[in-house]
Structure 1
Amino acid sequence: MIQNISLVTVYCLDQSATRDFYVRHLGFEARVDATMGDFRWVTIAHPAQPEIEVTLMTPGPPLSPEAAGFVRGQLESGQMGGLGLKVDDCRQTFAELSAAGVAFIQEPADRPYGVEAVMRDNTGNWLTLVEPKAFTPADLAKF
């Protein structure tokens, strides 16, 4: 039986730089950095959810060359999604991360589900910061 989600993947162009971005700016912890032949396995995790590791993968095997090229192009053009990150105060987190040089593509805005801001990691992945609030499906229909 499945017990939980333990691993998710975020594609990046430079595993070391992306790991450092998540650790330095977002409070994640470096976990695994191992080389297995030509393959480098790099993971991070947030200390509040240590059971979920994020694998930082470069576009390459096991993807086909065509698929890897597509993913690389999406990263380079800023078209890849990344993670949704829950925050306790979206506006304050936005101010802190902006002051630290993190690039935002959407300032905090009220949404039916809470306050949301959208930023980019160092590779261009979209990361959504959400300060959640209670909502119903009917609230979303008004949006």
Structure 2
Amino acid sequence: MNISLRYCHITVDELDESLAFYRDALGLEVRNDIASGAFRWVTLGSPAQPDLEIVLSQPHAGRSQADGDALQELLTKGVLPMAVFGTDDVDAAFERVRKSGAEVLQEPVDQPWGPRDCAFRDPSGNMVRIQHRPEQ
């Protein structure tokens, strides 16, 4: 039996601002942009991983009012789980994202546990890390 990750969700405040970050700054490609009533779900992915997609959606999309409110509160606090991306050139990725105007949390640094990485906040306040793990 094989099992693999297919989708990963990232909750965002404003879809178009977040789409610009994930598409333009990180370089992901838009695969779907689906509207349903007042909400949209946008899926993006990397050409290097054609079977894996990230889904961007707002806190109340497809959720009850109470659940959407709770998720909005966590998003506002900046305490939702981070997303970690891999790259073969973390310094170039850092410069590309920095030039987009994203909030820099950490410039590239060699971590004692192995990877060289950097960190940003997306337009909604989610932490996004980009790392390069040295060859083992």
Q: Which range, TM-score by smaller chain? A: 0.7 to 0.9
Paired with 1:38 and 1:52, the residues of 2 have a C-alpha distance of: 26
Change (3 A) 1:60 1:123: same
Residue-pair matches, total? 135
Name structure 1 gaps, 5 residues minimum: 136-143
Which whole-Å deviations, capped at 9, do the CAs of 1:91-142 have from their partners, x for residues lacking one?
Answer: 332233223322111122211221111111111111111110256xxxxxxx
**3-state DSSP of counterpart to 1:22:** helix
Of 123-132 and 83-92, deviating more is 83-92
Change (3 A) 1:36 1:105: same
Change (3 A) 1:129 1:36: same
TM-score if structure 2 supplies the norm length?
A: 0.85
In structure 1, the residue matched to 2:28 is 28
In structure 2, the residue matched to 1:125 is 126
**3-state DSSP of counterpart to 1:19:** helix
Paired with 1:10 and 1:2, the residues of 2 have a C-alpha distance of: 25
Name structure 2 gaps, 5 residues minimum: none
CA RMSD in angstroms comes to: 2.0
Counterpart of 2:94 in structure 1: which amino acid? F
Larger Rg belongs to: 1
Answering whether residue 42 of structure 2 is matched by residue 42 of structure 1, we say yes
